[in-house]
Structure formats: structure tokens, C-alpha cells
Amino acid sequence: MKKLLASTMLAAGLYAVAGSAQAAECGDVSIAEMNWASAGVAAHVDKIILESGYGCSVTLVTGDTMPTFASMNEKGQPDMAPELWVNAVRTPLDEAIAEGRLIQAAPLLSDGGVEGWWIPKFLADANPEIKTVQDALARPDLFPAPEDASKGAITNCPSGWNCQVSTANLFRALGAEEKGFELIDTGSAAGLDGSIANAFENQKGWLGYYWAPTSILGKYEMVKLSFGVEHDKAQWDACTAVPDCADPAVNAYPVSDVYTVVTKEFSEKAGVAMDYVSTRKWDNQTVGKVLAWMDENQGTNEDGARHFLQNYPEMWTSWVAPEVAEKIKAAL
């Protein structure tokens, strides 16, 4: 018994020393909690895992794409932006990486930020011949306009958003009006979301712009249609994304790169925590389901993070070592 007790005490002592060393390696970490839901949840997932699994002391700071990037680039704070849509800062980010200030760690969203034109899955299942936007435009009867059911409707994204311009240009490029369709302005994000909810509640056709990851696509099963062409960046920049472009061509939406970006100082001090940051990623479907749960339960970003960690262990335990996973589970 004495031998067993001594061994246990030795093991406990070693574990304590290892834990202290790990905490000392990680230290204080500041993380940007961006002002959109998926990034907010990711920030809280990182906070829980880094604190419970790696002994870090984490502070969350309010963030948004441009001010957070500028602060990290110029001041080295915060240490980490878990979900940065890097195309928005591509050129200065490349300069910061080349000059050794920032590190582009790993993609957080395994399938990237996705935009496109979608239809309800129940409609796609009932009409399997509809695979492309062009297929859908051949059936205006399946997508009746709210004010004139003799015409089809394509629902645009909210006024003032960039996607409103691209959707309007693609509407013209596809000759949608000549095919019997109207372009519907929902006026706001709430109006757009409401039009999708109404389509599902009444089992009616819906065709229009949306993006992922979002709670709507986590709550309602939608199918993204192909435009039948690859993304043409030159055409996109010169015309598709330009208001009232004179001669728009059919184009596909780009997939946005969404990465975790950290400061060089963090990458050097974080030790094994940096391995976690360079490993973890989740897909849009999972994020959408977590966001839908938050929407239905009026959950906060922290609530969403805990819901994810409690309900998707098969995903996040693959991001960390088994002994780290056990510490995190014990803290939930």
C-alpha cells in the first residue's frame, strides 16, 4: 500500500509539474470574439479548450474583420483571430506573413465560406432533374412569385450588401426575366430569413441567394445549385461584383478562405496549444446545426460552444491528445 501510495503521489506530482509547465508555456492568451455568430462560438470553443486542456489564461476581446486584423498586424494584439475571412485582407496579410508578424495557421471552416443560389431539399428531392440554376430557371412554376404566381421568383440578398449586386448581375446574365422570373428584394436579412422559413412551413418552392455557415442552413435543409461554370475571378472583379455592370456573364460564387490567424509571438510561446490551433477545423453543416440550436434556444456564443463540446465529442476529441480531451470533458 505504501508503495502504491508513493507511486500515486509521484504520479500526481509529475502531473502537477507537467501541468504547471504547460500553463507556463501557454500563459495569457487574447482571442478575438468576432461580431458574427459562427466566429463567436469558435472563440468560446477555443477559450474552453485552451483553458481546460492546456492551462492557458484566455481573455476574449470584441472583434471585427478589419479592426482586428489591423490591431494584430500593427500592435500584435489580440493573439488570435479564430475565424478570419482572409480574402478581405489578402494583400496586407501576405505582407504581414512575409515580414514575420502574423501566421496563417489552418482553415477553421473545412469547406470554406460558401455563397450561392439554393432551393429547399424537399423540392430538390421531388424534382431530381434540377441540378443547376439553369434547370431551375426552366421551371418558374415551381418558384411562384409572392405577388404574381404566374411568374417565378428569385430572392435577392439584403439591400446594401455586396451579394445584392452579384445576384442582380447574375439574374441578368442568366436571362432570368425572359424565362419568366422576377428578382425579389426582401429588404433585410430578417426578411430574407423569413421568406425561407415561410417556404418550409408552407412547403412552397423557393429559389434565391444564401450563404453558409448560418443558422438558417442549419435549421432548414437546402441544396446549393451549380451555375454550370467555374468561378472566373477576373470576370467577377470586373463585372459580376460591380453595380449595374453593362454585360454580365454567368459566373460562380467564389469559396471564401476562412483561416485562423495568430501573431508570431503567440505561435512561439503557445507550445502544444499551437498544435491544437493548427489542427482543429469544423464543417459548415456542423456549424449550421450549432447556430440553429442557439437560435432556437436563444443561446449565447458560450452556450453554443458548450453545446458543441457536449454533443460533438467525436469531432473535437480528434483535435487534441486523449489526456487533454479528458481534462476538457471534466470541465464541461
pLDDT at 135 over 60: yes
The residue-averaged pLDDT of 172-197 equals 95
Residue 158: per-residue pLDDT: 84
pLDDT at 183 over 70: yes
163 φ, ψ (degrees, to nearest 5)? -65, -20
Nearest one of 19, 64, 44, 61 to 316, comparing CA atoms: 44
Note the pLDDT tens digit of each residue in 6-26. Answer: 333 333 333 333 344 444 467
Note the pLDDT tens digit of each residue in 85-119. Answer: 998 898 999 999 999 999 999 999 999 999 999 99
- Amino acid at residue number 28: D
> What share of the chain in percent tops pLDDT 90?
80
Joined grid coordinates for residue 97 = 506573413
CA separation for the pair 80, 106 (Å, rounded): 12
pLDDT at 218 over 50: yes
For residue 324, the number of C-alpha atoms closer than 13 Å in the C-beta half-sphere is 20
SS3 213: coil
User: What mean pLDDT value characterizes the chain?
Assistant: 90
Looking at residue 307, the DSSP 8-state letter turns out to be: H
pLDDT at 3 over 50: no
- Amino acid at residue number 242: V
For 105-171, the DSSP string reads: EEESBTT-BEEEEEEEHHHHHH-TT--BHHHHHT-GGGSB-SS-TTSEEEEPPPTTSHHHHHHHHHH
pLDDT at 256 over 50: yes
Note the pLDDT tens digit of each residue in 271-317. Answer: 878 889 999 999 999 999 999 999 999 999 999 999 999 999 999 99
SS3 326: helix
The residue-averaged pLDDT of 205-228 equals 95
> What angle is formed at CA 72 by the lines to CA 75 and CA 302, rounded to 5 degrees?
125
Residue 187: per-residue pLDDT: 86
CA separation for the pair 290, 55 (Å, rounded): 26
CA separation for the pair 107, 99 (Å, rounded): 21
